[in-house]
Amino acid sequence: MATVTLTEAATSKFVQTGAVSNNIKVHYNEAGSGHPVIFLHGSGPGASSWSNFARNVGPFSEKYRAILMDQPGYNKTDVRVINEGETRSQVNGNSVVGLMDALGIEKASLVGNSMGGATALNVAVDFPDRIEKLVLMGSGSGGGANIFNQQPTEGSKVLNEVFDDPSVEGFRKLINIMLYDGSTVSDEILEQRYQSTVGNMAHVEARAKSSNASRDISSLLGNITAPTLIIHGFNDRVVPFENSLRLLAAITTSKLIAFQKCGHWAQFEHAGEFNRLVLDFLDND
């Protein structure tokens, strides 16, 4: 079957969520039908689930109801300041459940990259009956100290620099760190990410005002029973490979696959292999 060609505009939707997600309006892209699979993007400036998963949504929509959610503050989803006593990963996790409630989805599989992986882990810990399967790529590990890698990483430092002073040149520097081969990203995509950032300064300002507190759920990861596929680029300079090893050790229903010549965006850099592996994982018990 030929891969479906989809556009961001044709799949764009909004939904009003309820109290669990602080009543925010969420933007998402949707294609296909069947069992719902919710895709969750990372935390980079100008990020959206469409920009993260444009190379994946077509193949997934042929078998599943693919939902590409923009997390709070990103792209066209309402801006949300993270207040004292809150953490971004838990707020994001609650927003996923708010989206599911608003769309009448009882259970879904979650596919999360970087921050999106941390979001997915928080949903799995707080709302285990809402999760079918988990796919985590270059994911946050849910807390705990890294032994072999200095924090913050090189990629995290540059990401914060670009948030503080966005420019097309800064985005090129960031992409060259995030990907094994940054030349695969066109200047047009960089310009789009830049425009998405400067066109949403309310998010940049809210991020600056937000609490930086993190939630440590490392002691709870062993409670996750959902089948979990962990994917990591061997050349990731943003999230240490050690994170995925710790997830593998903690989640007894997990398995880990590493991609050579791959940075932080496995779903982008190795889209064909990623699509095949994840679809096979979702298709089989």
Residue numbers annotated as active site: 264
Contact 4, 58 (CB under 8 A): yes
**Across-strand partners of 29?**
12, 68
Q: What angle do CA 211, 20, 104 make, to 5 degrees?
A: 135
How many whole angstroms separate alpha carbon 52 and alpha carbon 70? 10
Q: How far is CA 181 from CA 68, 114, 156, 175, in A?
A: 25, 18, 18, 9
- Please state whether the peptide bond connecting residue 128 to the residue before it is cis, i.e. omega within 30 degrees of 0: no
Contact 62, 4 (CB under 8 A): yes
Cα 116 from chain centroid (whole Å): 3
**Across-strand partners of 228?**
134, 254
Choose among 85, 126, 109: nearest CA to 211.
85
Please report the DSSP string for 74-115 in residue order: STTSPP----TT--HHHHHHHHHHHHHHHHT-S-EEEEEETH
